Structure 1
Amino acid sequence: MSHFNQQQISIINNVFTKSNTGKIHFGEVIQQLISIDIESYNVNYRRGETTYYLSNGSSLRLEFEAHPEKISKNFDAAKIKSAILQTQSGTVMYPEFKDLTYEAGCIGYIVWINGAKVQYFGCNGDIHTELFPQ
């Protein structure tokens, strides 16, 4: 049973769509999700799913087109860091960020909003942790 209200669902759908089409930056995503009590979200590139979690434990899953065949088997934290920096500078939006992180061997990531960090995962258990910019 979902404990999301209609406003939360609407904001999540809006953020999801705008992010996946490259219309808003990560910082905007985070601010909008904070405003509706989202504490974290998990992006699974292999399944094409993003799951949003409220602080009460409720979750909402949305789907996007998966491309697991694009994901490199070799995890490269330096390439992930480069993709993050390009996103932070505004030269890369989310659709290109996904492609860059596929090439870096990322199978998905978890954004810990309350913890102000993102953990990126590789298929062999590799993890790169990135703190939110200050």
Structure 2
Amino acid sequence: MTDMAHVTAVACTEGSDRGKLSFPDVIGLLGAAGIERYHADLLRAEKTYYRPDGWSTVVAAEPLAHAPASRFDAAGVAAAIGAVQRRAIDYGGFCARIAAAGCVGYHVTLAGRRAVYYGRDGACHVELFPAAD
């Protein structure tokens, strides 16, 4: 199971970075691989994926072109989420926009069906996502 989970984590990271996988695609693939949550660190350009049994893996991600803003703007993060959900921007554009809004990383939990975006000072924006059909 570990090999499948790692391969899936790499595929999800690369697929997102290349604009080939949407967020719902990623959530479906991760759930099928037994991965329950992940953390995206925008400053380190990496994602860490976790299973409930304590297994984890770190996958390199596409680095940001510009450092995140120093001040967190929850409304700016929410606007970027809306734009990527409408497919007005791809994942790379999404990362650029949330960084411009001061986001330095985010946590996604499949069981909690939420993403928590946070800034340097701990300010955050919580985004719930709908239950899978």
> What is the TM-score of this pair, normalised by structure 2?
0.92
Matches within 5 A, 1:32-71: 32-67=29-64, 69-71=66-68
CA distance in structure 1 between the partners assigned to 2:129 and 2:114 by the alignment: 5
Q: Does 1:123 align with 2:123?
A: no
Asked if 1:108 is matched to 2:105, the reply is yes
- Alignment RMSD (CA, Å): 1.5
Residue number in structure 2 paired with 1:89: 86
1:10 is matched with: 7
Structure 1: distance between partners of 2:66 and 2:88: 25
Contact 2:19 2:91 (8 Å CA) reproduced: yes
Map Cα deviations across residues 66-109 of structure 1 (whole Å, 9 max, x no partner): 34852001111111001101111111211110000010000000
Matched letter for residue 77 of structure 1: A
What residue number does 2:20 align with? 23
Stretches of structure 1 lacking an aligned partner (at least 5 in a row): none
Unpaired runs of 5+ residues, structure 2, are none
Letter in 2 for 1:114: A
